[in-house]
Structure formats: structure tokens, C-alpha cells
């Protein structure tokens, strides 16, 4: 028996072959754990087999993508292998061997992750789950964006921006509205459906700690810009494309994935209107935005 994690409509089935309890997780993930695996479970999108003791041998592998922070990615034949280390350390505490189609993960963890009583926080959390979703989604007409997101009367709106752009600030400004359901204040999943694009909340919140497992059809994109007044102005598709690219999580090391991501963004900006929004923190921007959307 294992746990099922659902992020952006992608089902990850987690199991530990050694029977170690990995059910404990961080609070932001509460809404995203949707049950336990069983023989009757439909086939998951990603199966994660967790074990403890020894990590993969990476001595013969060569870096494919180096973040300079907590993880590095290697090629291992047709598969990917991700090495995780603590910031400021060279020691590897976890490795993930990921199948080429991102459907199966052999996750090996060092024993130092096992706490007292043999219980551990699930290792399938940030950044591993985001790496898996980044690679999986781009193969299935989806992508992760650095963006706040909200549902207004059942319709979805994005507020993309790089770090410091004001995603958490505008989310706090909208908090408390009886018409706005905030999905996330930092990262949103975008997926293309048969008739529309939809946005999904994620368990990767920003400073406002908003992480809601809900979705809504996307109806507008508001790129955050600095300004001292509440103002919204439309932009054309070329400007929207230029502003989208820096806020997307894309496997730049994979040519096919990059091509798929570019195609997805082109389709999105053609289908959904884009705007620039500057704002003053406070309830006024929430009222201004609601009036604009309603009009």
C-alpha cells in the first residue's frame, strides 16, 4: 500500500519496497494527497518506487544539466538520472532514475533521511516532484509557470512574474474576496484541453503560502509590472510571448521538450488575451481587477 499524489491532474503513485512509512508530508501538500494505492487503482501517470540505503552509482555518468544549486541531471542510456545534494555540500543524499517517458522513477535515498522510529517525510516533494512534472507535462501539452493564479467566478486568471515581481503581494491583496479563489501565489500548472487551456494550483507556494488543489479554465493573463497605480493595459501576442518565456519551467536540455513548450505557449497567447497590470497593494487592486474582469 502506498500514497497517491495528484498535482495538476497528474497522478503519482508512491510506494516503498522496504515497507518504510513515507506518508508524512509538508502542510502545503495536504490537498494534493488523494488516497492510497491498491490493486484496483487505475494506472498512475508516474510510478515512484522508493528505497533507502544506497543511491545510484553516477561515477561513469556525465552532467547533462547542472543547476548550480541542489540537483544535477545526467543521461543514463535512454533514461535520466537526477542527483540531489544539500546546498553547500558535495555529498549526494538521493538519486532518481527516471524513464525516458517519465512514467517510472527508481528513487533511492540515503539512510540519513530516516528519522527516529523509522518514519520519514516523503522524499517526493520539491524539488523532485517539480522536476518530474516539468518533464512530464511538456510531453502532455502542459507546462509550469512562475505565476500566481486565481479563479474568479469559476474562470481562471494568471499573474506571471519572476521572483520579486509581486505574485505573493497581489495574492494577499485578493485574499478575502468572496468571488476570488486563490490557487497559488508562486507556481501554476497550465494544461491544454480539447477546447480550452486550464490552470491548476500546486503545492509549491510562495511567501503567501497559498496551495490549493483546484483548477479553472484560463480566461486571461496579467503580467505583473512595477508601478504606483492600479492600471491594466492590453498587450499583443509578441509582447506576451516575450514576457512568458522567462517565467516558464522548461527542460532546456531536451530539444523536443523545448519545441513542445514553444508550441504550447504560441497556442496559449493566441487563444487567451494578455495584459500588463501594475498595482498598489491593498483591497483597491482586488476591486479594480474584479471590475475589469466583470466588464
Q: What is the pLDDT of residue 175?
A: 86
Q: What is the pLDDT of residue 12?
A: 97
Do 96 and 81 contact (CB within 8 A), yes or no? yes
Average pLDDT score over residue span 215-231: 93
* Domain co-membership, 159 together with 81: no
CB-count burial class (<10 Å; 0-12, 13-18, 19+) for 88: exposed
Q: What is the pLDDT of residue 41?
A: 52
Q: What is the pLDDT of residue 280?
A: 87
For the ranges 14-28, 43-57, 186-200, 244-258, the lowest mean pLDDT is seen at 14-28
* Domain co-membership, 78 together with 209: no
Please say which residue of 138, 170, 203 terminates a domain.
138
User: b vs e for 151-163, b when ≥16 Cβ sit within 10 Å of the residue's Cβ?
Assistant: bbeeebbbbbbee
Q: What percent of the chain has pLDDT over 90?
A: 72
pLDDT band (50, 70, 90) for residue 160: very high
* Domain co-membership, 10 together with 32: yes
Which comes out higher in pLDDT, residue 37 or 78?
78
Of all helices (H) and strands (E), which one includes residue 265? helix 255-271
Which comes out higher in pLDDT, residue 39 or 131?
131
- 107-118 pLDDT tens trace: 999 998 887 777
pLDDT band (50, 70, 90) for residue 219: very high
For the ranges 57-71, 131-145, 270-284, the lowest mean pLDDT is seen at 57-71
Determine the Cα–Cα distance for residues 45 and 154; give it in Å rounded to an integer: 27
Residue 74 φ then ψ, to 5° = -125, 160
Name, in order, each residue with C-beta under 8 angstroms of 61's C-beta and a sequence gap of 6 or more: 74, 75, 76, 81
Average pLDDT score over residue span 26-48: 83
* Domain co-membership, 289 together with 146: yes
pLDDT > 80? residue 222: yes
* Domain co-membership, 266 together with 210: yes
**CA angle, 100 as apex, 257 and 18 as ends, to 5°?**
135
For the ranges 113-122, 228-237, 247-256, the lowest mean pLDDT is seen at 113-122
* Domain co-membership, 282 together with 157: yes
Q: What is the pLDDT of residue 2?
A: 78
| CA dist list (Å): 113 to 2, 71, 117, 144, 169 | 18, 17, 12, 28, 35
Name, in order, each residue with C-beta under 8 angstroms of 242's C-beta and a sequence gap of 6 or more: none
* Among 198, 173, 145, CA closest to 279: 173
pLDDT > 60? residue 287: yes
Determine the Cα–Cα distance for residues 78 and 65; give it in Å rounded to an integer: 15
CATH of residue 200: 3.90.228.20
Q: What is the pLDDT of residue 38?
A: 55
* Among 193, 219, 199, CA closest to 272: 219
* Domain co-membership, 64 together with 120: yes
* Domain co-membership, 177 together with 256: yes
* Among 94, 102, 99, CA closest to 55: 94
Determine the Cα–Cα distance for residues 133 and 144; give it in Å rounded to an integer: 8
Helix (H, G, I), strand (E, B) or coil at 186: coil
pLDDT > 60? residue 275: yes
Mean pLDDT, rounded, of the chain: 91
* Domain co-membership, 96 together with 214: no
Average pLDDT score over residue span 48-69: 86
- 75-124 pLDDT tens trace: 988 899 999 998 777 789 999 999 999 999 999 999 988 877 777 889 99
pLDDT > 70? residue 40: no
Q: What percent of the chain has pLDDT over 70?
A: 97
DSSP symbols for 85-110: E-TT---EEEEEEE-TTSSEEEEEEE
Q: What is the pLDDT of residue 192?
A: 97
* Domain co-membership, 59 together with 161: no
Please say which residue of 104, 138, 172 terminates a domain.
138
Which comes out higher in pLDDT, residue 89 or 61?
61
Q: How many CB atoms lie within 10 A of CB 178?
A: 5
Domains contained in the chain, number: 2
* Domain co-membership, 64 together with 25: yes
Does residue 155 have a cis peptide bond before it, meaning omega lies within 30 degrees of 0? no
Please say which residue of 138, 156, 190 terminates a domain.
138
* Domain co-membership, 167 together with 80: no
Which comes out higher in pLDDT, residue 63 or 108?
108
Which comes out higher in pLDDT, residue 34 or 41?
34
Q: Which residues constitute the domain of residue 132? A: 3-138
Q: What is the pLDDT of residue 96?
A: 97
Amino acid at each position: 500500500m502506498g500514497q497517491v499524489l495528484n498535482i495538476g491532474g497528474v497522478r503519482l503513485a508512491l510506494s516503498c519496497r522496504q515497507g518504510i512509512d513515507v506518508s508524512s508530508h509538508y502542510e502545503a501538500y495536504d490537498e494534493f494527497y488523494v488516497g492510497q494505492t491498491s490493486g484496483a487503482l487505475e494506472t498512475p501517470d508516474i510510478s515512484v518506487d522508493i528505497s533507502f540505503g544506497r543511491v545510484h552509482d553516477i561515477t561513469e555518468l556525465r552532467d547533462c544539466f547542472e543547476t548550480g544549486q541542489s540537483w544535477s541531471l545526467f543521461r543514463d542510456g535512454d533514461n535520466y538520472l537526477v542527483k540531489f545534494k544539500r546546498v553547500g555540500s558535495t555529498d549526494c543524499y538521493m538519486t532518481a532514475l527516471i524513464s525516458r517517458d517519465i512514467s517510472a522513477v527508481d528513487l533511492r535515498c540515503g539512510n540519513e533521511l530516516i528519522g527516529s522510529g523509522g518514519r520519514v517525510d516523503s522524499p517526493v516533494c520539491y524539488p523532485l516532484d517539480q522536476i518530474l512534472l516539468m518533464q512530464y507535462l511538456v510531453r502532455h501539452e502542459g507546462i509550469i509557470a512562475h505565476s500566481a493564479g486565481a479563479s474568479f467566478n469559476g474562470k481562471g486568471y494568471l499573474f506571471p512574474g519572476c521572483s520579486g515581481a509581486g505574485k505573493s503581494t497581489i495574492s494577499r491583496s485578493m485574499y478575502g474576496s468572496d468571488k476570488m479563489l486563490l490557487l497559488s501565489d508562486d507556481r501554476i500548472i497550465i494544461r491544454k484541453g480539447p477546447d480550452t487551456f486550464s490552470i491548476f494550483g500546486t503545492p509549491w507556494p510562495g511567501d503567501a503560502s497559498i496551495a490549493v488543489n483546484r483548477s479553472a479554465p484560463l480566461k486571461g493573463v496579467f503580467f505583473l509590472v512595477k508601478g504606483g497605480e492600479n492600471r491594466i493595459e492590453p498587450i499583443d501576442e509578441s509582447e506576451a510571448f516575450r514576457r512568458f518565456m522567462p517565467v516558464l519551467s522548461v527542460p532546456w536540455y531536451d530539444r523536443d521538450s523545448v519545441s513542445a513548450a514553444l508550441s504550447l505557449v504560441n497556442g496559449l497567447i493566441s487563444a487567451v488575451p494578455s495584459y500588463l497590470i501594475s498595482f498598489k497593494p491593498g483591497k483597491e487592486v482586488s476591486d479594480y481587477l474584479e471590475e475589469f474582469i466583470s466588464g
